[in-house]
Chain A
Amino acid sequence: MSTSRRDPDEALILALRGTLSPDGPHDGAGPADGARSASERLAVRAEREGLADILYAPVDTPFGSMLAASTERGLVRLAFPEEPVDSFLQALASRLSPRILRAPGSSLDEVRRELDEYFAGRRREFALDLDWSLIGPFGRRVLRATVEIPYGGHLSYSEVAAEAGSPRGSRAAGNALGSNPIPIVIPCHRVLRTGGALGGYGGGLDRKRWLLELEGASV
């Protein structure tokens, strides 16, 4: 294995290594435990020092475990359970910033609390700050109009398009609603076809129906 010949390179490597002398035995917690808890503490420090541009965490809901992501501006993304973590993170990294960390402890508790209350029927409006940076200019107009639809109410695609300033843009409005990065909180489930048919929903029509029933909408 190790060379016994007096290779000058080896001698220098030994000299360099000789300047480094670890303390004592390495027993105690295994590497996996040490590394895991150290990386959790890292997230705390990164958050404190403002080095994490995006923090994300799973949020339990009646639909299953959803993923929420926040920036310093506010909630930027909420993903349904079927979205894989990797693609959720990759999309945020390429569109906003790669400095994404799993939120330590309680940092997304406000999001959890408001969603819990909403799903329990105890909250009719979200007070969360939102970060709109994943939404383009037309999408912003459409989704801002959507936020104004009251709990239990609904508008049609063409009504929302009109609110957004493009009365003929109901198809474009449908696309903007379909790519809503913060469903539920931006209540795109409250937009229906003229006449009351459900239309589409990024999280599936069963969930759209479920949310409308939760809100007691007369559909």
Chain B
Amino acid sequence: MGVSDGPPPFQLFLDTHRDEVWRLLVRSVGPLDAEDCFQETFIAALRAYPRLKDGSNLRAWVLTIAGRKAIDAHRARSRREVPVAEPDALDERAHRPAAERDEELWMAVESLPERQRSAIVLRCVGDMRHRDIAAAMGCSENAARRSLHEGLSKLRKVVPS
């Protein structure tokens, strides 16, 4: 294809990646929330699209957006599901609700450098193997493994398990 400069026409980008994004979302948030996450993913992509420098690595880019929308959906859902705790009955540190810990974990993921965050999102949300992460990110398998490992090491420092 004659991709000169700039990304390809959005419709072609959508046609190329929609099935994979859909599968990732159904696997990570289930079929009920997949629809909303799908819309949020491609609307976010559409907003950012004119600012893209070129058409390289669009697959990793959109799968990472989708992974982050899936994480948002989980965070929103766990916030809805958290029962209202009685503050005086709890030692906050020991008994923080699980949802709050999850939230913290994903916020730490958000703060990682782009490639490490992508690798983690693709691995954990997309359930992708190193080889597929490498293909999605357009890098070697070793580089993907390294990004994933570095990201996870940083996470462990921030969030002791």
With both chains docked as a complex, state the minimum distance between the C-beta of A170 and any C-beta of chain B, in angstroms: 33
Q: How far is the CA of A17 from the CA of B3 in the complex (A)?
A: 37
Name the residue on B nearest A87 (C-beta). B2
Decide: A31 and B23 in contact? CB cutoff 8 A.
Answer: yes
Decide: B28 and A89 in contact? CB cutoff 8 A.
Answer: no
Tell me the chain B residues, 82-127 only, with Cβ under 8 Å from chain A.
102, 105-106, 109, 120, 123-125, 127
Decide: A42 and B2 in contact? CB cutoff 8 A.
Answer: no
Q: What residues on A are CB-neighbors of B10 within 8 Å?
A: 52, 98-101
Q: What residues on A are CB-neighbors of B102 within 8 Å?
A: 19
Q: How far is the CA of A147 from the CA of B36 in the complex (A)?
A: 46
Q: How far is the CA of A31 from the CA of B21 in the complex (A)?
A: 10
Decide: B9 and A12 in contact? CB cutoff 8 A.
Answer: no
A20 within 8 A of B: yes
How large, as a class, is the contact surface on chain A?
35 or more
Most chain A beta-carbon contacts within 10 A, residue among B10, B15, B50: B10
Known interface pairs A38-B38, A98-B10; A22-B30 also in contact (CB < 8 Å):
yes
With both chains docked as a complex, state the minimum distance between the C-beta of B97 and any C-beta of chain A, in angstroms: 12
Q: What residues on B are CB-neighbors of A41 within 8 Å?
A: 35, 39
As a 0/1 sequence over residues 15 to 35 of chain B, the CB contacts with chain A under 8 angstroms (1 = contact) are 100110111001111111111
Q: How far is the CA of A8 from the CA of B10 in the complex (A)?
A: 40
Q: How far is the CA of A86 from the CA of B28 in the complex (A)?
A: 33
Q: How far is the CA of A45 from the CA of B27 in the complex (A)?
A: 24
Q: How far is the CA of A15 from the CA of B4 in the complex (A)?
A: 43
Tell me the chain A residues, 35-92 only, with Cβ under 8 Å from chain B.
35-36, 38-39, 41-42, 45-46, 49, 51-52, 56, 86-87, 89-90, 92
Q: What residues on B are CB-neighbors of A15 within 8 Å?
A: 105, 161
Q: How far is the CA of A51 from the CA of B10 in the complex (A)?
A: 11
Q: What residues on B are CB-neighbors of A23 within 8 Å?
A: 29-33
As a 0/1 sequence over residues 18 to 32 of chain A, the CB contacts with chain B under 8 angstroms (1 = contact) are 011011101010011
Q: How far is the CA of A87 from the CA of B11 in the complex (A)?
A: 13
Q: What residues on B are CB-neighbors of A11 within 8 Å?
A: 161
Name the residue on A nearest B75 (C-beta). A19
Q: What residues on B are CB-neighbors of A49 within 8 Å?
A: 43
Q: What residues on A are CB-neighbors of B34 within 8 Å?
A: 34, 38
Q: What residues on B are CB-neighbors of A46 within 8 Å?
A: 43, 46
A13 within 8 A of B: yes
Q: What residues on A are CB-neighbors of B65 within 8 Å?
A: none
Q: How far is the CA of A22 from the CA of B11 in the complex (A)?
A: 29
Known interface pairs A35-B19, A86-B1, A99-B49; A16-B39 also in contact (CB < 8 Å):
no
Known interface pairs A19-B74, A20-B71, A22-B29; A100-B9 also in contact (CB < 8 Å):
yes
Question: What 10 A-B pairs are tightest by C-beta distance, nearest first?
Answer: A23-B30, A35-B22, A89-B9, A22-B30, A19-B102, A93-B9, A16-B124, A35-B18, A100-B9, A38-B38
